Amino acid sequence: MATESMIVYKCPCCGADIQFEAGTDHLTCMYCDNTYEIDTLVNYEKGLSQQKPENFSWKDYDNNSGNGDWQEGELSQLHSFKCAHCGGEIIGDTSTMASTCPYCDNPVVINETVDGVMRPDFIIPFKKGRKAVDTAYKKFISKKVLLPKSFKTEHHIQSIKGIYVPFWLFDADSSGDGHFRATKIKHWSDSEYYYTKTEHYSVVRTADMSFEKVPVDGSVKMDDTLMESLEPFNYDMAVDFNTAYLAGYFADRYDVDVTHSIGRANDRIRNSTEEMLRSTVRGYSTVVTESVNVQIQEGDIHYALMPVWIANTEYRGKNYMFAMNGQSGKVVGTLPIDKVKLALITAGTFLGTFLVFLFGLGLLLGGAV
């Protein structure tokens, strides 16, 4: 004999099971006490089941995309330097020489030809020069109270290099919708009791958005977190690529192709969509994201070079990197920590907290006498 499975509906507001209430024509949530007409609940569930699956569709990018392939004679003006130690490869014009790798400071060798790399569509020229880097570095380390004294006095940036870092830029018109669970919590009291009332809500937001030049770092050697910390770049200052901008600088050869960059671009767009939609859910005590759906059709992709000053310093067997946005001057970096200073500060903080506790305890005991 055929059996029928019973459909168990979930409360749209709080997610708990809901039941048909005898003697009525509606269902009631036993947790948040919201009620729903049967037709309304069925249509709500049907709408969820018919929701389109998330879709990120991007146009293909190849040598003929963007501003096209290399022009005649352009590649002959460039040569590449490859590090035998870390595998890093940088490209410079014929007037620019490199003796050490910008990523590990080991010697590099010259590879005469540059091939197998796409021509950039755009480039943001360097705006901050070497003097600005020296000033920014001194200011950066002067504020680090846990920095070993010997590092400040003995280590100076000598081999800093200006490098154009490869980026894939993603443009798209999109639509997005988000489902959120929210609550409103109210507290009050009378002469006998304290009361808390919690109201549960299901909130839906839908919007059309445009994303322009969402950046994804195309270099394995440049840490993604570090590069995102150097953002933003002002893309209004981007110009069509020309090898003349490489004079005196280097360009990192991309080793993360566009196919492997799409996933990170999708994540950044999805996160931005959630933040934008969630920012419109106001007036609630708590808001929890239930789901976010993004639809992109035929988004555009560009290849660009961004200006970055970088320097690597070795201290007691470990490498530390300092980097500065060559356009805005924003700096980030990793620095060593003096463990003795850290221990003293930690001990001082603990002692201060303990003394405050004893002082408070003394006041309490004194007041009780």
Calpha distance 180→14 (Å, rounded): 10
In the three-class reduction of DSSP (H, G, I as helix; E, B as strand; rest coil), residue 139 is classed as: helix
Tens of pLDDT along 46-101? 666 656 788 899 999 988 888 888 888 888 888 888 888 888 888 888 777 777 78
Q: Name the most confidently modeled range: 109-123, 202-216, 309-323.
A: 202-216
What is the rounded average pLDDT of the residues 137-159?
69
Calpha distance 215→235 (Å, rounded): 10
In the three-class reduction of DSSP (H, G, I as helix; E, B as strand; rest coil), residue 368 is classed as: helix
Calpha distance 111→88 (Å, rounded): 12
Residue 232: cis peptide before it, omega within 30 degrees of 0: yes
pLDDT at 327: 96
**Of how many residues is the chain composed?**
369
Calpha distance 367→360 (Å, rounded): 11
Give the number of other CB atoms < 10 A from CB of residue 168.
Answer: 25
pLDDT at 279: 94
| Helices and strands counted in the chain (H then E) | 6, 15
Examine the pLDDT at 35 and tell me if it is beyond 90. no
pLDDT at 1: 44
pLDDT at 365: 54
Strand partners for 280:
none
Q: Are 269 and 211 in contact (CB under 8 A)?
A: yes
- Which helix (DSSP H) or strand (DSSP E) does residue 230 occupy? helix 224-230
Q: Which amino acid, one-letter code, is at 120? A: P
* Segment among 231-235, 280-284, 330-334 with least mean pLDDT: 330-334
Q: Are 164 and 292 in contact (CB under 8 A)?
A: no
Long-range contacts, stretch 327-332, CB < 8 angstroms, 24+ apart: 327/124, 327/126, 327/127, 327/128, 327/233, 327/234, 327/237, 328/127, 328/128, 328/232, 328/233, 328/234, 329/128, 329/132, 329/136, 330/230, 331/136, 331/137, 331/140, 332/226, 332/229, 332/230
Greater model confidence, 304 or 200: 304
Calpha distance 342→334 (Å, rounded): 16
Place of tokens 């939609």: 277
Tens of pLDDT along 237-252? 999 999 889 888 989 8
Query: Dihedrals φ, ψ of 135, to 5°?
Result: -65, -45
Strand partners for 176:
207, 294
Q: Name the most confidently modeled range: 3-7, 78-82, 115-119, 227-231.
A: 227-231
Domain boundaries, the chain: 1-50, 60-171+214-280+307-343
Q: How many CA atoms, within 13 angstroms, populate the side-chain half-sphere of residue 134?
A: 6
Whole-number Cα distances in Å, 178 to 40, 58, 202, 207, 292: 20, 22, 11, 9, 4
Examine the pLDDT at 139 and tell me if it is beyond 70. yes
Examine the pLDDT at 5 and tell me if it is beyond 60. no
